[in-house]
Structure 1
Amino acid sequence: MLTKAVRAALIGVVAAGFFGGCGTKDARPVIRLLTGPDSGGGFKEIIRQFEAARPDLRVELVEGPAATNTREDMYAASFMAQDGAYDVVFMDVIWVPKFAAAGWILPLDDRFPAEERADFLPGDISGSIYQTKIYRVPMQSDAGMLYYRKDLLDAEKRVPPRTVEELAELARALQSPPDRWGLVFQGQQYEGLVCAFLEVLWGFGGDVIDAEGRVTLDSPESVRALEWLAGLPTRLAPPGVTTYQEEECRQMFQDGRAVFMRNWPYAWTLCQKEGSPVRGKIGIVPMVHAAGKTSAATLGGWGYGISAYSKHPGAAWSFIEFATQAAQQKVFHFRTGAIPTRKSLFDDADILKGSPHFKELYTVLLAARPRPVHPRYSRISDILQRHVSAALVGQLTPEKAIQDAAEKIRQALQ
């Protein structure tokens, strides 16, 4: 059943398409693309450039709601109706397995071969693949990282932490609660908690499912990871961290009330704005890991695919190929602040002039991993949210939370 928001949005899209076509004799194929609000005008500028390069084609931008779940529902409703309302699918990385498994999007292997993927960040490519086939061309990357107060570490002649032990020791040494805590992270029961937990889980050598889709969550590594995370509130993190999302963390760190912060790249720009108490005083590094293990970042980001019901798949590919070139990703970056997915742009002089931290960000992005690639990821996420949160607030022991979550996930994937 469609929600009121989705029904209203779909009516608006249909009406716009109907009335937009009245009285016109333009016979060019129309490529339709659904996105969120085009803040900064990045999509419009790329469309303008594309139509100038390909006057035989026309692109119609449908600016949907800001809420990503509503846009996901809009795509799903269109696909289930097999109506071909959208040709190009601008999708979140976590939608790929769901859309691909349902047969709603086309595999792109013939159009996007391995040699063409070489300039893209490896995590973004990995997140675009489902059951060995690639369904998405990455356009905008994102990944979790550890922010730190460079000025505080420099004053103590200390280097940024690499391991969980080093982070705990530095946070303890530099905090002075309640005025300044050691670490803030996304601890509320929502998707952000899953992203934060996965980075710790991978950093301890654990995982949720393996390459064959078998649940591997109930391992000693997973228990140790959750024990570490659940031990942070009141010790190194404020008690209220279990209610924090990204913005609560960012505000606390930006106000100078935390030494370390787990967050996404967007926070850098806000922390460096004129008047920010921490402007020029921060750095970024990959998320910490257990001794003998390696860091990993939870992958976010967006990319383009082709609807299986498009009447113009060739034209849709022409737009995708154009829009994801380095020149267009650069335009999109400057218009919207989006992080490119092409490795070559992290050495671009123009980008580095405005974003010198991209050299460090590139290291973070190279270690990015997609969340469990499964059509039922939303069920996996819901189970993890509930059980990790229960451990953080003391309702379950970490061991019990891991055991119960693993069993629930097995049942959900049967």
Structure 2
Amino acid sequence: MKQSTFIRRIFASLFAVLICSAVFGLVRARTIESVTFLMAAPFADATRDLVKQFNQEHRGEINLQVVRGPLETEAMSDLAISSLLLGKAPFDGLLMDVTWLPKYAAAGWMEPLEDFFNEKDVHALAIGAREGNSYDGHLYRWPLTADMGLLYYRTDLMEQPPETPEELVLVSQSLQTDRKVDWGYVWQGRQYEGLSCVYLEMIDGFGGDWLQPNNNHIGLDLDPGVQAAAWLQELIDQGVSPNAVTNYAEPEALQSFKVGDAAFMRNWPYAWTELQKSDSAVKGNVGITTMVARPGHSTATLGSWGLTVLKGSAHVNASIEAIRFLTNESSQKQLFLKHGYTPTQQSVFDDPQLLQDKPILAEFGQALKVVKARPETPLYAQISDVLTRQLSSILTRETTPKDGMNVATSHTNQILISAGEKL
């Protein structure tokens, strides 16, 4: 009797273990991977519907959450770096500006992505969108949106846009003389990253280089570098650009152009959508082209945002699944149509119906073919700060273009030598 009772207890215990194991296995099978991405506020807002769609399609498997970061790029970078310096980041993925990649890669903060995206994936990207995603032989970033500097112009004031710096000045002065506009050209002249982007387009436009990628040779103090700085200074001196341009970032330049004060504006693709709104005085009278330059040297500063997986993430595969979804052709079309973000997939630029409905897409595609990345070095923030300080002094006539570019070259050289990036 006792033995029978004991056996029954053993079987009961085994049955209980089996039931618990089955339940535990079922729970494990239904465990949802929670993935968190940090994005700057505009992108977090723009991808909200896509995130909902992703979570619906991956219900019971992956739940993607997006942390809404700051609005400004520099504030976003500060937040990301502060989080990463604490050790294990509180998120799996990060939407990063193209200039951050060398610094983050050198610090070992990102997972290499070449095992997840192959050559076929890379070749499916538009040519310009392939830039700025790799460092030191590894793929670290997958582009969510393309971005490049553009020259906006008033189609009601001219049949064709100028192609050279000299032509832009002449057209501007003619329109100002005829009192058709208050200003010829508005751009980003404040002492911040936007000024580096403006200058990059002009030093390349005059046939030079800021920093050569193969040998870190600095070209700021050579003729094209000095000419670029002098041209920007002369825009203000000649009254083509307002004195206030030295305080302009993208929003201020956009506002001036949007109300009809200026004939030309340097800005990014997002401005196109803003200029088509009902409160725009120039709606229907705007065209875009690449920046003025010497023949054959037109350049657009690359300014894209891309997604990366952070080192130490426990959800690498799930993060990759989310990245693929957010950057696929359908998502790219939605981001372009609803929010004006430039696509990265070449198939979107080749879509005949989309090109018919949105002819501006073809112009974006052409500009994307002449993009140029800013110097790809972990020290980029330091050398950009050196450049903008000297440019600001030049624009406000505290120094001459020649002297300012000599100082910028010397300080940049010191930074590179101190870090062992130059002998």
TM-score tier, shorter chain, comes to 0.7 to 0.9
Q: 1:408 aligns with which of 396, 407, 411?
A: 411
Deviation of the 1:65 alpha carbon? 2.7
Partner of 1:278: 282
Pairwise mapping of residues 14-413 of structure 1 onto structure 2 (< 5 A)? 27-37=31-41, 41-55=45-59, 56-154=61-159, 159-176=160-177, 180-212=182-214, 213-235=216-238, 236-291=240-295, 293-348=296-351, 351-352=354-355, 355-413=358-416
Deviation of the 1:44 alpha carbon? 3.0
Q: Contact 1:139–1:324 at 8 Å: present in 2 too?
A: yes
Aligned-partner Cα distance in 2 for 1:281–1:264: 17
Aligned-partner Cα distance in 1 for 2:158–2:339: 32
Aligned-partner Cα distance in 1 for 2:101–2:73: 14
- What one-letter code is carried by the residue in structure 2 that aligns with 1:265? P
- What one-letter code is carried by the residue in structure 2 that aligns with 1:228? W
Aligned-partner Cα distance in 2 for 1:271–1:114: 37
Secondary structure at the counterpart of residue 169 of structure 1: helix
Aligned-partner Cα distance in 2 for 1:196–1:271: 21
- What one-letter code is carried by the residue in structure 2 that aligns with 1:164? P
Gapped runs of 5+ residues in structure 2?
A: 1-26, 419-423
Q: CA RMSD in A?
A: 2.3
Aligned-partner Cα distance in 2 for 1:218–1:114: 39
Q: Contact 2:269–2:341 at 8 Å: present in 1 too?
A: no
Aligned-partner Cα distance in 2 for 1:45–1:164: 42
Secondary structure at the counterpart of residue 175 of structure 1: helix
- What one-letter code is carried by the residue in structure 2 that aligns with 1:181? W
- What one-letter code is carried by the residue in structure 2 that aligns with 1:47? V
Secondary structure at the counterpart of residue 237 of structure 1: coil
1:356–1:73: structure 2 CA closer, same or farther, 3 Å change rule? Answer: same
1:57–1:247: structure 2 CA closer, same or farther, 3 Å change rule? Answer: closer
Q: Contact 1:39–1:336 at 8 Å: present in 2 too?
A: no
Secondary structure at the counterpart of residue 230 of structure 2: helix
Secondary structure at the counterpart of residue 151 of structure 1: coil
Aligned-partner Cα distance in 2 for 1:42–1:247: 19
Q: How many residues align?
A: 386
Aligned-partner Cα distance in 2 for 1:205–1:179: 31
Secondary structure at the counterpart of residue 32 of structure 1: strand
Q: Contact 1:41–1:335 at 8 Å: present in 2 too?
A: no
Deviation of the 1:285 alpha carbon? 0.7
Deviation of the 1:41 alpha carbon? 4.8
Aligned-partner Cα distance in 2 for 1:61–1:277: 36
Gapped runs of 5+ residues in structure 1?
A: 1-23
1:377–1:405: structure 2 CA closer, same or farther, 3 Å change rule? Answer: same
Secondary structure at the counterpart of residue 201 of structure 2: helix
Decide which moves more: 98-107 or 323-332.
Answer: 323-332
Deviation of the 1:335 alpha carbon? 4.0
- What one-letter code is carried by the residue in structure 2 that aligns with 1:283? G
Using the size of structure 2 for normalisation, the TM-score is 0.85
Using the size of structure 1 for normalisation, the TM-score is 0.87
Aligned-partner Cα distance in 1 for 2:55–2:181: 55
Aligned-partner Cα distance in 1 for 2:43–2:220: 39
1:261–1:42: structure 2 CA closer, same or farther, 3 Å change rule? Answer: closer
Aligned-partner Cα distance in 1 for 2:180–2:236: 12
Decide which moves more: 57-66 or 195-204.
Answer: 57-66
Deviation of the 1:355 alpha carbon? 3.5
- What one-letter code is carried by the residue in structure 2 that aligns with 1:200? M
Aligned-partner Cα distance in 2 for 1:402–1:38: 35
Aligned-partner Cα distance in 1 for 2:66–2:95: 11
1:354–1:243: structure 2 CA closer, same or farther, 3 Å change rule? Answer: farther
Aligned-partner Cα distance in 1 for 2:76–2:267: 24
Q: Contact 2:269–2:340 at 8 Å: present in 1 too?
A: no
Secondary structure at the counterpart of residue 147 of structure 1: strand
Secondary structure at the counterpart of residue 86 of structure 1: coil
Secondary structure at the counterpart of residue 303 of structure 2: strand
